Structure 1
Amino acid sequence: MFAARVPVAAMGLTLTLHVVSALGRGYSAAGLVGTATMAGSALSSPLVGRMIDRFGLCPVVATCGTAATAYWISAPHLPYPVLVAIAFPAGGLAIPVSSIARQVLTALVPPEQRRSAYSLDSILLETAFMIGPAAGIAVATQVSSAAALTGIGLYFGAVTVALCWFNPPVRHEDETAGGHRPPLRGWLTSRLTATLCIATGALFCLAGMELAALAALRANGQVGLTGVLMVVMCVASAFGGLVHGAVRRSLSQATLMLLLAALTLPIGLFTEPWWLLAIALVPANVACAPTLTSGAEEVTSSVPARVRGEAMGLLDSATRLGLGLGSPLVGFVLDHSSAGWGFAASGAGGLAIAAAGLAQRLRVPRAAPVNA
């Protein structure tokens, strides 16, 4: 799953470079393609997860992987209007790497060790996001954007073959594989809704934080240090995931979300020089991986195994919704103010989105894990 996430991490920047450089379009045009892809993926994730619940891993991965391979190999040869038109359905058929990883870990790891497993997965996710974008940009700038996009397509083809070959389990052998699917209202409880709201708020906060950090470097004339700053953020998040997975009892998702937002709000007071900004970003990013990991823990423990894929798909949709809202809204704040206010908007906006979930979490008692 680490290998499968590398092309996912490389997709956004590589496609942006292709639209801007090879097709001669602006960044807003590139953003439209990315938004269409993300929207398709966000809307389809629960459905794809439901298909995994019903038909198993291989048929779904083979279908999605074939579509993803075809899309990325053909993307360099498509005019911009066609690229925009097929971005939405292509996003809808993307391989749900994150939800598959969590389902497989849930099936392979005993309940008492799942926090450690999810935390390790989050660390590998951060590592993939340190490697993927850098590799995509290197190929796009040193060879061509067409070669980079084609490489992503071939990589997806290899990932598809590997997943179908190994065919890891998505349910533990003790969990019920058959039977009727529970009704939606039976498992989409207020507790799960709260978890999804908090996940959306967390990703809003993180997306806005990254954008505000880029704006701060640009305002200081230090855009070339963006890669260094991103590495600092990823390492800090990986460290947080390591601690989260090592402790016997961690903080709740709600508490971690509050910490993430509270630590993001004051970053804008330390936007220069760049090394001071890097230090200021560390505490908030330490809370990043634990917050995301705790969301997967909550979903796993609150839904029946029969609908776990669909529930993980809903979690994917919630995170993508947070990403989709964070960038444009914080970007609007940055366009009309300064980078410091961008950090404030990231923390406050993420907390506002999560507020409904936080309020529900205070009222809903913690239920016993559901594994049947």
Structure 2
Amino acid sequence: MPLAPYRAVLSVPGVLRLLLFGVLARVPQTAAGIVLSLHVVGPLGRGWAAAGLVGTASTVGMAIGSPWRGRAVDTQGLRRALVPSVVASALVWGAAPFVGYRLLLALAVVGGVLSLPIFTVMRQSLAVMVPAQSRRSAMALDSVGVELSFMAGPALGVLLATQLSTSAAILSVGGCIVVSGLALIAFDPPTRSADGVAADAAAEVEADERRAAGGPVPAAVREPSRGRLTSPAMLAVLGATAAATVVLAGTDVSVVAHLRADGALALTGLIFASWGIGSIVGGLVYGTLHRPVSPLLLLLGLGLLSIPVGLAPSPWLLALTMLPAAALCAPVITSTSEAIVRLVPEAVRGEAMGWHASALQVGSAIGAPLAGAAIDARGAWAGFAAVGAAGVVLALTGLGVLRLRRSRAAALVPA
């Protein structure tokens, strides 16, 4: 695998520091879900279904709040946009260990709406800091960082909750999130380039001139780039993002069900580590490619390779059969981020990345129940088959719609 693309990315001033910060800042966020779940089934005395509902409440909150928080970054700047998130994180996580279940549900929604937008800010900043020809490699490195955070966060959360207490774990996670927010405010990585700022200034001057002349200011002048957020290509990318996380979230549930059926739950950590390593390798390989690959094609491959995984007769063969699908995990998420950067102007890139985050959350919320229903009906193997088939169907649908649009556009062009 050629390393020159990654050396070029890491040679850009500030990029290595940003990537390392991203790994560390995401660890408490990835630990949050398991810590809250252990608190619900432990001190609060509820079941796992109730614990899952807290996670769903947080997911719904993040899906609602991500586009709004991203637009705040676009319009107010990073530092001003982060202040509400830091304050809300301190209040929500500071109160969470001391409230009952119902109030915890409400806090989960509020915390999700105002969650710290580490994931979106990282990609937005990398798109500004790194030259266009190196963005794929930069996004791939960021995806590797995400995998490392997800491998470390839940394990550390369980360690804190079991060795100390769930209350101490919640306060520790919340404190780390607040510190991450303050560090990001101090760090203040760029989210707009000089050209983007100049374009905003030109649009504002035009709007002022129209107001001075006594005429209306058309929406195209006030917000010249917002129409790109709802373009067919953008909607296709968001659909591919949601579909990919349907497959990934469903795979998580199916792996646990498969290992439980085999009486090998003790190997859960090892299997997920294998999945993470496969994703990291795939992401690094994808980052060296000279041309982008359609997210829909990557989604198609992910779905096809996920369908037969559940037929593995043993946990060790499960770890091996998962590797091909795992190798497409980071590439498909990287390709969707890269596509959004290409499709959306800089003026609304924060909001676009917020919609990307919402698509990730929506897919996760759909994938786990879909796999669970298939597992209850047919067995562990059906969970893999159901989410894999869903990914294939959605990928083929997206490819078909885009091809039809291209055919119609070509027919309208004069000979």
TM-score by length of 2: 0.85
Aligned match of 2:326: 285
Name which of structure 1's ranges 215-224 and 178-187 shifts more when overlaid on structure 2: 178-187
Q: Output the CA distance in 2 between the equivalents of 1:115 and 1:16.
A: 36
Residue 246 of structure 2 corresponds to residue 204 of structure 1? yes
Q: Output the CA distance in 1 between the equivalents of 2:29 and 2:357.
A: 14
Deviation at 1:224, TM superposition (A): 1.1
Tell me the SS of whatever aligns to 2:195.
Answer: coil
Residue 51 of structure 2 corresponds to residue 30 of structure 1? yes
Q: 1:149-228 residue pairs with structure 2 within 5 A?
A: 149-175=170-196, 176-178=199-201, 179=203, 180-182=222-224, 184-228=226-270
Aligned match of 1:108: 129
Deviation at 1:186, TM superposition (A): 4.3
- Give the letter aligned to residue 299 of structure 1: I
Q: Output the CA distance in 2 between the equivalents of 1:346 and 1:107.
A: 35
The runs of 5 or more residues in structure 2 that have no matched partner are: 1-21, 204-221, 407-415
Q: Output the CA distance in 2 between the equivalents of 1:190 and 1:29.
A: 38
Q: Output the CA distance in 1 between the equivalents of 2:147 and 2:41.
A: 26
Quick one: which of 80, 84, 88 aligns to 2:101? 80
Q: Output the CA distance in 1 between the equivalents of 2:350 and 2:377.
A: 41
Q: Output the CA distance in 1 between the equivalents of 2:195 and 2:146.
A: 28
Aligned match of 1:370: none
The number of residue pairs the alignment matches comes to: 364
8 Å CA contact 2:26–2:146 kept in 1: the answer is yes
1:318-369: CA deviation from partner (whole Å, max 9, x where unpaired): 111100000111111111221111100010122334444332333456xxxx
Stretches (4+) displaced over 4 A: none
Q: Output the CA distance in 1 between the equivalents of 2:176 and 2:200.
A: 31
Aligned match of 2:296: 254
Q: Output the CA distance in 2 between the equivalents of 1:195 and 1:312.
A: 11
- Give the letter aligned to residue 286 of structure 1: A
Deviation at 1:253, TM superposition (A): 1.2
Q: Output the CA distance in 2 between the equivalents of 1:203 and 1:343.
A: 13
Q: Output the CA distance in 1 between the equivalents of 2:165 and 2:179.
A: 21
8 Å CA contact 2:278–2:323 kept in 1: the answer is yes
The runs of 5 or more residues in structure 1 that have no matched partner are: 366-372
Q: Output the CA distance in 1 between the equivalents of 2:76 and 2:185.
A: 13
Quick one: which of 308, 311, 317 aligns to 2:358? 317
RMSD, matched Cα: 1.3
Which structure has the larger Rg over C-alpha atoms? 2
Deviation at 1:192, TM superposition (A): 0.3
Tell me the SS of whatever aligns to 1:22.
Answer: coil
Quick one: which of 77, 94, 114 aligns to 1:93? 114
Q: Output the CA distance in 2 between the equivalents of 1:361 and 1:89.
A: 37
8 Å CA contact 1:102–1:296 kept in 2: the answer is yes
Deviation at 1:174, TM superposition (A): 2.4
8 Å CA contact 2:297–2:395 kept in 1: the answer is no
- Give the letter aligned to residue 338 of structure 1: G
Residue 78 of structure 2 corresponds to residue 57 of structure 1? yes
Aligned match of 1:295: 336
TM-score by length of 1: 0.95
Q: 1:137-148 residue pairs with structure 2 within 5 A?
A: 137-148=158-169
Residue 276 of structure 2 corresponds to residue 234 of structure 1? yes
Aligned match of 1:69: 90
Q: 1:245 to 1:350 in 2, by over 3 A?
A: same
Q: Output the CA distance in 1 between the equivalents of 2:403 and 2:236.
A: 10
Deviation at 1:250, TM superposition (A): 4.2
Residue 393 of structure 2 corresponds to residue 352 of structure 1? yes
Residue 315 of structure 2 corresponds to residue 274 of structure 1? yes
1:26-47: CA deviation from partner (whole Å, max 9, x where unpaired): 0110111110110011011111
